């Protein structure tokens, strides 16, 4: 029997597009997470991959999160709840800590894991209407389990995170933009192309410098100033020894666009 892949992977000139194929709900099944873990580990090590875009088939939903029926039915075969959650936290940690920018598209239902994955990304773009974004786990008698409570708090602040999580409140794209949960909103029909436009822009930046910025900025709020400044100095030194910096300076002098190679 030909079983379709839960994850479609396409490389568009250094932009790796990872698409959940479980439309219309785009659940984050065990098979999806297995495929996603393999994909992001390989992407992190592949110098040809510059940017990652996380999206889903169709225009109905980005993702309703974990397949709860599958968890109840098959969770024990995966080593139990802790093993399931360990994998999901591990995958999101790889995405967040990767020295390459990641972008998520939020539209339709973005609930539970369907928000926790975007929260691990560096950029989030949302539809300007029709999105339902939230961590409604309290409605099920539980709490966010893939790092959502911590990442949402760091993203929008304690008070807004408590308002969303304790009330199981779902917000739309404009409100997500207003509170800083997403960087921009777009008409639904244009959302995925907007994400690709941003990804292509980022893919043209010098990879070594991009990695340095991510190392400096991601998690900076939780570091001491001295530690953050040390990270910045290490990034500066790494760039100074790269051909990309020499190319950037030469291109500036010659008044031409630079061509960065990641060397």
For the residues 128-136, what does the mean pLDDT come to? 97
Same domain, 141 and 183: yes
Same domain, 194 and 215: no
- Measured between alpha carbons, how far is 55 from 12 in angstroms, rounded to an integer? 14
For residue 215, what are the domain limits? Answer: 207-254
CA angle centred on 117, ends 138 and 191, rounded to 5°: 110
Nearest one of 109, 105, 127, 107 to 66, comparing CA atoms: 109
Same domain, 153 and 241: no
Same domain, 184 and 88: yes
Same domain, 159 and 100: yes
Asked if the structure places residue 262 within a domain, the reply is: no
Same domain, 118 and 169: yes
Same domain, 234 and 170: no
Same domain, 104 and 127: yes
Asked if the structure places residue 99 within a domain, the reply is: yes
Nearest one of 111, 117, 114, 125 to 171, comparing CA atoms: 111
For the beta carbon of residue 144, count every other beta carbon within 10 angstroms: 24
CATH of the domain at 24: 3.90.226.10
Q: How many domains does the chain have?
A: 2
Catalytic residue ranges:
116, 137
Structure letter (DSSP) for residue 77 = G
For the beta carbon of residue 63, count every other beta carbon within 10 angstroms: 28
For the residues 56-80, what does the mean pLDDT come to? 94
Same domain, 76 and 194: yes
Q: What is the pLDDT of residue 3?
A: 62
pLDDT band at 1 (very low <50, low <70, confident <90, very high): very low
Asked if the structure places residue 38 within a domain, the reply is: yes
Whether the CB-CB separation of 86 and 50 falls below 8 Å is answered with no
Q: Is 219's pLDDT higher than 90?
A: no
Asked if the structure places residue 259 within a domain, the reply is: no
Same domain, 148 and 44: yes
- Please name the residues in contact with 33: beta carbons below 8 A apart, sequence gap of 6 or more: 87, 88, 91
Asked if the structure places residue 178 within a domain, the reply is: yes
Asked if the structure places residue 148 within a domain, the reply is: yes
- Please name the residues in contact with 263: beta carbons below 8 A apart, sequence gap of 6 or more: 242, 243, 244
Asked if the structure places residue 125 within a domain, the reply is: yes
Dihedral angle at the C-alpha atoms of 74, 164, 98, 231, nearest 10 degrees? -140
- Please name the residues in contact with 115: beta carbons below 8 A apart, sequence gap of 6 or more: 65, 106, 133, 134, 135, 148, 152
Nearest one of 67, 68, 63, 41 to 52, comparing CA atoms: 41
Nearest one of 93, 86, 108, 117 to 7, comparing CA atoms: 117
Same domain, 82 and 142: yes
Same domain, 106 and 55: yes
Percent of the chain exceeding pLDDT 70 equals: 98
pLDDT band at 236 (very low <50, low <70, confident <90, very high): confident
How does 26-50 read in b/e, with b if 16+ C-beta sit within 10 Å?
Answer: bbbbbbbbebbeebbeebeeeeebb
Ranked by mean pLDDT, the top range of 33-37, 68-72, 233-237 is 33-37
Q: What is the pLDDT of residue 103?
A: 98
Structure letter (DSSP) for residue 3 = P
């Amino acid at each position: 029997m030909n079983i379709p892949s839960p994850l479609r992977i396409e490389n568009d000139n250094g932009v790796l597009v990872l698409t959940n194929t479980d439309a219309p709900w785009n659940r984050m099944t065990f098979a999806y997470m297995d495929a996603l873990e393999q994909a992001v580990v390989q992407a992190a090590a592949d110098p040809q991959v510059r940017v990652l875009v996380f999206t889903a088939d169709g225009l109905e939903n980005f993702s309703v999160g974990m397949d709860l029926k599958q968890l109840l039915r098959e969770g024990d075969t995966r080593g139990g709840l802790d093993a399931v959650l360990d994998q999901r936290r591990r995958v999101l940690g790889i995405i967040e800590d990767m020295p390459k920018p990641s972008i998520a598209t939020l539209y339709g239902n973005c609930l539970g894991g369907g928000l926790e994955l975007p929260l691990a990304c560096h950029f989030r773009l949302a539809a300007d209407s029709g999105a339902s974004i939230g961590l409604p786990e309290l409605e099920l008698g539980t709490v966010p389990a893939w790092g959502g409570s911590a990442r949402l708090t760091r993203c929008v602040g304690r008070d807004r995170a408590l308002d969303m999580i304790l009330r199981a409140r779902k917000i739309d794209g404009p409100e997500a933009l207003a509170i800083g949960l997403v960087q921009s909103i777009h008409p639904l029909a244009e959302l995925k192309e907007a994400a690709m436009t941003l990804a292509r822009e980022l893919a043209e930046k010098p990879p070594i410098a991009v990695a340095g910025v991510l190392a400096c900025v991601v998690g900076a709020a939780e570091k001491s100033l001295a530690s953050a400044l040390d990270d910045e100095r290490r990034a500066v030194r790494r760039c100074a020894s790269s051909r990309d910096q020499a190319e950037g300076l030469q291109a500036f002098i010659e008044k031409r666009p630079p061509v960065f190679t990641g060397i």
